[in-house]
Amino acid sequence: MGVRRPTVVRSRAELSEALAAHRATEGGVALVPTMGALHEGHLVLFDRAASLASCVVASVFVNPLQFGSGEDLDRYPRDLDRDVDLAGAHGVSLVFAPEAREMFFDGEPRVRVSPGVMGDRLCGRFRPGHFEGVLTVVAKLFGIVRPAVAVFGRKDLQQAALIRRMVSDLELGVEIDVIPLVRGEDGLALSSRNAYLSPAERSQALGFVRALTEADEAFRGGLSDPEGLLARVREVVAEHPSLVLQYSEIVDADTLDAVEAVRAGSVIALAGFVGSTRLIDNLVLGAERADPQVGSHA
Ligand code: AMP
């Protein structure tokens, strides 16, 4: 395909060297933080980053700080060779894939970035410490890579809002770009965790998408009471015996505050389980454009 395989760097020293050479001659660096097991949602982030900067760094790091006890840190899918090929085909020039001991050279960080009140909402209520782990590592990656811009996905709505807020509150000087949520051809939000689903579970999981879509239809039909819309979500989910809804809320996308009167642009977000797999999804209510869908099932 004539695509250059990205350089894979495992240490911050190698990364600094590669970036210094680039910065001296070409300028802007974009960072796309990932946990690997790449799917087409990630590839849209890389394409976007490549349109914003001359050098795209993708980090591939399964961040232990963001997994709680009993979560899937050990079985989280990992395939660095495949990730590097995919990233290279989408404009990534450097893949930074550190081991945990390279990231936390003198043990886990004692000083961490607190997500504050925005971290107590939505997923934060059920995953204590998760967003602190995310922000601490993202801040560290910003310090290591010093990108002009970093690209994230709305799939992780709360993460994107917290990172934007961290950058503005702590004045970190990184532009944050958030892309829409990318869905598979059946409508399910693409996620590395979809690999855990059996075909039967995947088709049940579509109940979450239907619940969001039906709430959106009710909103477009004139219902703007959040409780009424959320009741619709709960009803649709309840029609699927293997789904368990953890939460559903309608929030302002920037502040994550629950909205009293829903307006176009408010976001309906949910998390739930299909068997032992936890999935998240969200939809911008009354959006002019539907979420992008790709032809793959990942
Ligand atoms: P992860 O590897 O799951 O930590 O995700 C890395 C980045 O990709 C995050 O900014 C995610 O929000 C983003 N991402 C993951 N899945 C999707 C998706 N289906 N649509 C858009 N962005 C996504």
Q: Residue range 203-220: average pLDDT?
A: 98
How is the chain classified by DSSP, letter by letter? --PPPPEEE-SHHHHHHHHHHHHHHT--EEEEEE-SS--HHHHHHHHHHHHH-SEEEEEE---GGGPPTTSSTTTS---HHHHHHHHHTTT--EEE---HHHHTTTSS-SS----GGGGGSGGGGTSTTHHHHHHHHHHHHHHHH--SEEEEEGGGHHHHHHHHHHHHHTT---EEEEEPPPB-TTSPBP-GGGGG--HHHHHHHHHHHHHHHHHHHHHHTT---HHHHHHHHHHHHHTSTTEEEEEEEEE-TTT-PBPSS--TT-EEEEEEEETTEEEEEEEETT-SSPPPB-S---
Catalytic residue ranges? 42
pLDDT of residue 22: 83
Tens digit of each residue's pLDDT (9 = 90 or more) over 136-157: 999 999 999 999 999 999 999 9
Which atom from ligand 1 is nearest to the alpha carbon of 191?
16
Whether residue 119 is predicted with pLDDT greater than 90 in this model: the reply is yes
Question: Does the beta carbon of 58 lie inside 6 Å of ligand 1?
Answer: no
Question: Does the beta carbon of 133 lie inside 6 Å of ligand 1?
Answer: no
Contact (CB, 8 A) for 61 and 180: no
Question: Does the beta carbon of 142 lie inside 6 Å of ligand 1?
Answer: no
Place 23 in a pLDDT band, splitting at 50, 70 and 90: confident
- Residue 88 C-alpha to ligand 1 middle, in angstroms? 17
- What's the predicted TM-score (pTM) here? 0.96
Question: Does the beta carbon of 19 lie inside 6 Å of ligand 1?
Answer: no
Q: Whose CA is nearest to atom 14 of ligand 1?
A: 153
Q: Residue range 205-225: average pLDDT?
A: 98
> Best mutation site among 65, 95, 156, 277 for ligand 1, i.e. most ligand atoms within 8 A of its Cβ?
156
Question: Does the beta carbon of 156 lie inside 6 Å of ligand 1?
Answer: yes
Question: Does the beta carbon of 155 lie inside 6 Å of ligand 1?
Answer: yes
Q: Whose CA is nearest to atom 6 of ligand 1?
A: 34
Place 298 in a pLDDT band, splitting at 50, 70 and 90: low
Share of the chain above pLDDT 90, in %: 93
Comparing 24-33, 36-45, 240-249, the range with the smallest average pLDDT is 24-33
pLDDT of residue 4: 80
> Best mutation site among 34, 72, 79, 149 for ligand 1, i.e. most ligand atoms within 8 A of its Cβ?
34
pLDDT of residue 297: 56
Which atom from ligand 1 is nearest to the alpha carbon of 37?
2
Question: Does the beta carbon of 181 lie inside 6 Å of ligand 1?
Answer: yes
Mean pLDDT of the chain: 95
Place 216 in a pLDDT band, splitting at 50, 70 and 90: very high
Comparing 21-25, 74-78, 201-205, the range with the smallest average pLDDT is 21-25
pLDDT of residue 1: 46
Q: Whose CA is nearest to atom 11 of ligand 1?
A: 153
Tens digit of each residue's pLDDT (9 = 90 or more) over 217-231: 999 999 999 999 999
pLDDT of residue 2: 53
Q: Residue range 53-66: average pLDDT?
A: 97
